[in-house]
Chains A and B, each alone.
Chain A
Amino acid sequence: MRTSLVFKATGFIVVLGAWQLLAGLGVVNPFLLPPPTRLAGAAYELITDGSLFRHLAASLERVLVGFLLAALVGIALGVLLGWSRLVSDFVRPLVECLRPIPPIAWTPIAILWFGVGNAPSYFLVFIGAIFPVFVNTFAAVRNIERTQINAALCLGARPGLLIRDILIPASLPIIFPGLRIALGIGWMCVVAAELIAAQSGLGYMIQQNRVLLQTQNVVVGMITIGVVGFAMSGAMSAIERRLVPWSQAAR
């Protein structure tokens, strides 16, 4: 475990070392790609003056609101369409038409509808995150084994109990990877939204520093996005292992 952790860190260290070296030798333009030492200094300043955390908090709040809405609606829609073929035949073509539209393409209309602020970000995260949740939930509900439903029915389960104790838990091992993907996409969407339609957040911070020609701050913002995204994915996996301990072994 320890060795593998050291091994995993080696990649970072090698890349950072080479980067620093190339900048020191003057091979890369330090304005276009500031060396790690300058980034560390910039990060220190952005942390100490509180602006990095302020922007990070704004982005996190937006992604969480949009993601939770998407999870709620996506799971409900997936269960409904997975359960009822009639509703599915009616709604599915519409959903499948909306799905290929990239969230970025929704940005102009989102600004027209919601103006500038939190609302367009919520909306864009929602648009980006809902489809993976929906698609996985739908597939999960469609693929539930008939005998498990029959077992529950002959034991006297009524619809409420059937959904809560059978349908949802049986689907969770497939819903969870959908949620993890959705959160990743939502995180990308929030940054994209903030580049254009917000006055705070990591995306806004990057955009503003580009205008001010503060490249080191732009790169610090990008790295923060990467690290936080990685951490969110890890957190989702940990939650998944806690909530669906049977999923690895049972499949």
Chain B
Amino acid sequence: MTRQLVIERVVKEFPARGNGAPVRALEGIELEVQEGEFVSLLGPSGCGKSTLLNIIAGFQRPTGGRVLHEGVEVTSPDRRRTVVFQDYALFPWMTVQQNVEFGLKAQGAPAARRRDIARGFLALVHLVGFEERYPHEISGGMKQRAALARALAPNPDILLMDEPFGALDAQTRVLLQEEVARISAETKKTVLFVTHSIEEAVFLGDRVVVMSARPGRVRTISPVLLARPRTPAIRREPAFVSLVEDLWESLKPEWQERRTDNA
């Protein structure tokens, strides 16, 4: 196993609005991710987990520290790190097929090869028969499947998923968690998965990185000692239940504090 992604003392500060103090979104984040590992980033909203993902993707630069992808500093987006967004970010003017082909088109792959590869990934996410539909013609769950296929098609090293199921209903969410568990096992991708659902973080992750807010920092890192592949039955295992409860107990004070803040 090699360290594929190294996050070194990453700090992110946003400039002050008006005459307030600058906002520190991330404080000294340290994390190493092994090749093929599935890491869940868990935390309350506002803890900077999406900001961290944006920095890893190369969309934003850290104020301090750095991110290394196979030893090379990340300075801009790169197709070796593709992203699945919460709001899907599918291109509405392209069919599902064209969306999935986009990364291959950017590489300059010939049309026939693009089509074949895209078909393969659409089969993987169970979207056969929907190739020629436009995003507005399919359901939210199907959109996220399409977005997942689009992110996998250029064969990235690391898949970055930013609360991908946040906009979906509970049933679709559970089904897609199982799909992601299966697909990540089949494709052996390194995955960084941002979520605020404890169950989701535990169900999918090899490790759960718990973040706390203001400023965002890594609070604890819990290994998930559950067998792979992850199947629905795992949710009833004592190890799953007790880890979810432990994480909930450790997060509860902060969650409650935020609730009274917001009220």
Residues of chain A whose beta carbon lies under 8 Å from any beta carbon of chain B = 145, 147-148, 150-158, 161, 165-166, 169-170, 172, 244-246, 249-250
How many pairs of A and B residues are in contact by the CB < 8 Å rule? 78
- Given A153-B76, A156-B154, A244-B93, 9 other A-B contacts at CB below 8 A? A150-B83, A152-B102, A154-B82, A156-B79, A165-B91, A165-B102, A245-B134, A246-B92, A246-B134
CB distance from A250 to the nearest CB of B (A): 4
How distant is the Cα of A147 from the Cα of B91 in the complex, in angstroms?
10
How distant is the Cα of A165 from the Cα of B103 in the complex, in angstroms?
12
In the bound complex, residues from chain A placing their C-beta under 8 Å from that of B116 are none
How distant is the Cα of A170 from the Cα of B82 in the complex, in angstroms?
21
How distant is the Cα of A155 from the Cα of B103 in the complex, in angstroms?
5
Assess the B57–A150 pair: CB atoms within 8 A. yes
In the bound complex, residues from chain B placing their C-beta under 8 Å from that of A155 are 79, 82, 102-103, 106, 150-151, 154
How distant is the Cα of A249 from the Cα of B134 in the complex, in angstroms?
10
With a 10 A CB-CB cut-off, give which of A147, A151, A165, A169 has the most chain B CB atoms: A151
Residues of chain B whose beta carbon lies under 8 Å from any beta carbon of chain A = 54, 57-59, 76-79, 81-83, 85, 87, 89-94, 102-103, 105-107, 134-137, 150-151, 154, 160
Assess the B89–A145 pair: CB atoms within 8 A. yes
In the bound complex, residues from chain B placing their C-beta under 8 Å from that of A166 are 91
With a 10 A CB-CB cut-off, give which of A148, A169, A170 has the most chain B CB atoms: A148
In the bound complex, residues from chain A placing their C-beta under 8 Å from that of B134 are 245-246, 249
In the bound complex, residues from chain B placing their C-beta under 8 Å from that of A153 are 58-59, 76-77
Nearest first, the 5 A-B pairs at minimum CB distance are: A156-B79, A155-B103, A156-B106, A153-B77, A169-B93
Question: If the complex has contacts A161-B106, A250-B135, are A154 and B87 also in contact, measured as CB distance less than 8 A?
Answer: no
CB distance from A63 to the nearest CB of B (A): 29
In the bound complex, residues from chain A placing their C-beta under 8 Å from that of B90 are 151
How distant is the Cα of A145 from the Cα of B85 in the complex, in angstroms?
12
Question: If the complex has contacts A166-B91, A169-B91, A249-B136, are A154 and B106 also in contact, measured as CB distance less than 8 A?
Answer: no
How distant is the Cα of A231 from the Cα of B136 in the complex, in angstroms?
30
Assess the A161–B105 pair: CB atoms within 8 A. yes
In the bound complex, residues from chain A placing their C-beta under 8 Å from that of B135 are 246, 250
Assess the A246–B136 pair: CB atoms within 8 A. yes
How distant is the Cα of A250 from the Cα of B137 in the complex, in angstroms?
9
How distant is the Cα of A147 from the Cα of B163 in the complex, in angstroms?
14
What are 14 pairs between A and B in contact, CB < 8 Å?
A147-B85, A147-B87, A151-B89, A154-B59, A154-B79, A155-B79, A155-B103, A155-B151, A155-B154, A161-B105, A165-B94, A169-B91, A169-B93, A249-B136
In the bound complex, residues from chain A placing their C-beta under 8 Å from that of B82 are 154-155
In the bound complex, residues from chain A placing their C-beta under 8 Å from that of B137 are 249
In the bound complex, residues from chain B placing their C-beta under 8 Å from that of A245 are 134
> Which of chain A's residues has its CB closest to B58's CB?
A154
How distant is the Cα of A154 from the Cα of B76 in the complex, in angstroms?
9
With a 10 A CB-CB cut-off, give which of B87, B93, B151 has the most chain A CB atoms: B93
> Which of chain B's residues has its CB closest to A152's CB?
B102
In the bound complex, residues from chain A placing their C-beta under 8 Å from that of B160 are 154
How distant is the Cα of A98 from the Cα of B192 in the complex, in angstroms?
51
